[in-house]
Amino acid sequence: MGHITDIKIISSLEKIYDEDKMPQNEIRHISLLKNEKKSFQIAIKSDFDGECDVSLSSTVKNIKLYTVKHIKSDLPMDKKGVDDYYRFSKSGYYPDLLVPLKDKAEISKGITVVWAEIDGKDGVVGENKIEITVGDKTAVINAEIIDAELQFKDFVYTCWFHTDCLMSYYGFDAFSDEYWRVTENFLKTAREYGMNCVLTPLFTPPLDTEAKKERPTVQLVDVSLHNGEYSFNFDKLTQWIEMSRRCGIEYFEFSHFYTQWGARHAPKIMADTDEGYKRIFGWETRANSKKYKQFLKAFSTELKKYIEEKRLREKVFIHVSDEPNFSMLIPYSKASKYIHTLFEGYKIVDALSDIRFYKWNIVTNPIPSNDHIENFIGKADNLWTYYCSAQKNHCVSNRFFCNCSLRTRVLGYQMYKYNIKGFLHWGYNYYYTRLSKGLVDPFKVSDAGGQFPSGDSYVVYPAKDGMPYQSIRLKVFYDALQDLAALNTLENLTDKKTCMDIIEENGKYNLTFKDYPHSDEWLLTTREKVNKTIKENIKQ
């Protein structure tokens, strides 16, 4: 039997790529609020491969432990148009997957990393000593729980939820018992880590779909077309909403009424007709066609009645088409105008990054990418932001495998400064290749078949039992949301200037979406200062 030769507790921002080199930095104290989760890592150096006992001693109950696993990446980053702020850029194996462990850890010769997560509700206000013993080595960290709570306010976070990917990976049918069980499992985890808005497929979402092809049918609204008249049944939608609310979801982002990248066609819509169950709209349907507009008019009338009956008016978001650019101005403008007419007074939102769409009143609630948002700041109210694979330069925040975790987490401070009201990402669990041409095994293919940088497509992995495995990126992004919420708490106790003086060190830095200190120590120290100032002010 070999030996554990060293053990260190390190911050959640460290990514251990080199499995032979022990990290230098070590932490011994963290603080958190009563409703906050806080993570740290245990780096374990050993001279053997095998299992090793792991034990905990603490006043904090229910500490969650995970083994950090490396996942293969053939495309960690695009080859062109990227900045130089990446941890690594070569293909290889990157730390990402978190596999739950109980009392034994799988130890590899060299460096093994265990991720630990504590929850403020499981400890006592004040100091909590945590001892982690691996083999015959023990590491200690103190966690101070502060007698205050994170305030998330009305912030909206949506990370697009793809039930067809779950269907394809696990092999069950839409709306079967297994469909609802697994969907709820994945949605519970999404909510636990900050997502409070879910993409809701009224019809099969026309997203990442190859032209003239289609994704598996997941539409929640049953459509009938008989004798030229439409009728609609919302029972599945009701079941979806009830399930989502059980998970804690507050908002519902209805799927797009037109195809992605320009609004030129209708989405796939299935219906019960005189000729049987068939597709009545799709790629063959021009977006501005009389037939589709008549359908939308009939459908919107019934949908609005349903929304009012369910008291959802302030909880739903309507989409036209995703990510139009200026070359798509004419078809998008026509589609947007019609949707705004049908859903007057509703929140209509779309991800786009050309300010002219907003200036010309083509879209009322734009969601610009974080590398274009500066054009919108101070001009658009209730501003959201998003990123995807295209946000790869100017040092803007993203969540690729090869990004350092600081680059993911700094978004919380940035959104606080600019009073951002929501965040959108397209891939909570996208397990297809680009344009949904085929299924991938996300444990083996992390880059959508070499099309999107690893980390862009998903933040959870599908475990065998229909439960999601979590990722480092899921937890670090949630830390960004918690940073934002902690600043809200402090602002309510003091004022925004106090918060910004802490973040920017009294004018030493000017934080933007592109400029910020590239320092883990800065981010972590800043958050500790926020917590210390909260503690000082709640005593007054």
Beta carbons within 8 Å of 86's beta carbon, 6+ residues apart = 76, 77, 400, 402, 403, 404
Does 531 map to a domain?
Answer: no
Question: Which of 148, 173, 199 is the last residue before a domain boundary?
Answer: 148
Percentage with pLDDT > 70 across the chain: 100
Cα–Cα distance between 448 and 432 in angstroms, integer?
6
Mean pLDDT of 309-328: 97
Task: Using the CB atoms, write b or e for 485-513: b if 16+ within 10 Å.
Answer: bbbbbbbebbeeeebbbbbbeeeeeebbb
Q: Which domain holds residue 376?
A: 156-215+234-265+287-477
In this prediction, residue 1 has a pLDDT band, given cuts at 50, 70 and 90, of low
**End position of a domain, from candidates 477, 503, 529:** 477
In sequence order, the β-bridge partners of residue 349 are 365
Name the pLDDT band for 540 (thresholds 50, 70, 90).
low
124 and 241 in a single domain? The answer is no
Q: To which H or E segment does residue 270 belong?
A: strand 269-273
Residue type, 310: K
Say if residue 19's pLDDT is above 80. Answer: no
Q: Residue 503 and residue 527: Cα distance in Å, rounded?
A: 8
On whether both 16 and 130 belong to a single domain, the answer is yes
Instruction: Check whether 238 has a pLDDT greater than 90.
Output: yes
Give residue 369's pLDDT. 98
pLDDT in tens, 149-171: 999 989 999 999 999 999 999 99
Length of the chain: 540
Nearest to 261 by CA among 328, 318, 209: 328
- State whether 133 and 164 are in the same domain: no
| Cβ proximity of 299 and 314 under 8 Å | no
41 three-state secondary structure? strand
Residues 426-446 pLDDT 10s: 999 999 999 999 999 999 999
Inform me whether the pLDDT recorded for 473 exceeds 70: yes
If asked whether residues 138 and 161 sit together in one domain, one would say: no
What average pLDDT does the chain have? 97
Residue 20 has pLDDT above 80, yes or no: no
- Rounded Cα distance, 424 and 426, in Å: 7
Asked, for residue 305, whether it belongs to a domain, the answer is yes
From start to end of 74-182, where are the E strands? 92-101, 104-107, 110-119, 126-134, 137-146, 156-159
pLDDT > 80? residue 18: no
Tokens of 345: 């007074």
Tokens of 472: 């480092």
The CATH number of residue 54's host domain is 2.60.40.10
Whether residues 406 and 360 share a domain: the answer is yes
Question: Could you tell me if 127 and 535 are in contact, meaning their C-beta atoms sit under 8 angstroms apart?
Answer: no
Domain assignment of residue 530, yes or no: no
**Are 88 and 190 part of one and the same domain?**
no
Which pair of structure tokens corresponds to residue 296?
Answer: 């939308």
Please count the structural domains in the chain. Answer: 2
Examine the fold and report which residue of 148, 172, 194 is the final residue of a domain before the chain moves on.
148
If one compares 19 and 172, the residue with the highest pLDDT of the two is: 172
Please tell me whether residues 110 and 256 are part of one structural domain. no
Rounded Cα–Cα distance for residues 60 and 40 (Å): 14
Residues 160 and 144 in one domain: no
Q: What does the pLDDT read at residue 539?
A: 73
Helix (H, G, I), strand (E, B) or coil at 358: helix
């019934």: which residue's tokens?
Answer: 302
Does any domain span residue 535? Answer: no
- Joined tokens for residue 332: 């998008």
Work out the average pLDDT over 309-337: 97
| Contact by Cβ (8 Å): 243, 180 | yes
Task: Tell me: do 114 and 200 sit in the same domain.
Answer: no
Residue 21: what pLDDT? 84
pLDDT tens across 379-399, in order? 999 999 999 999 999 999 999
pLDDT, tens digit, 9 for 90 and up, residues 75-120: 999 989 999 999 888 999 999 999 999 889 999 999 999 999 999 9
Between CA 215 and CA 436 the distance in angstroms is 7
Residue 492 placed within a domain: no
Domain annotation covers residue 50: yes
Q: Are residues 126 and 204 in the same domain?
A: no
**Residue range 508-535: mean pLDDT, rounded:** 98
Compute CA distances 288 → 300, 349, 409, 480, whole Å: 16, 20, 42, 41
Tens-place pLDDT, residues 209-223: 999 999 999 999 999
H helices present in 108-213, as ranges? 163-170, 177-192
Q: pLDDT (tens digit, 9 = 90+) per residue, 108-146? A: 999 999 999 999 999 999 999 999 999 999 999 999 999
Cα 378 from Cα 263, distance rounded (Å): 28
Same-domain pairing of 404 and 434? yes
- Asked if residue 271 is part of any domain, the answer here is no
Q: Is residue 456 part of a domain?
A: yes
3 contacts 52 by C-beta, under 8 angstroms: no
Same domain, 296 and 327: yes
What is the structure's pLDDT at 233?
Answer: 98
E strand or H helix at 31: strand 29-33
pLDDT at 30: 98
Could you report the per-residue pLDDT of 239-272, keeping only the tens digit for each? 999 999 999 999 999 999 999 999 999 999 999 9
CATH number of the CATH domain containing 446: 3.20.20
Query: Which of the four pLDDT bands, split at 50, 70 and 90, describes residue 24?
Result: confident
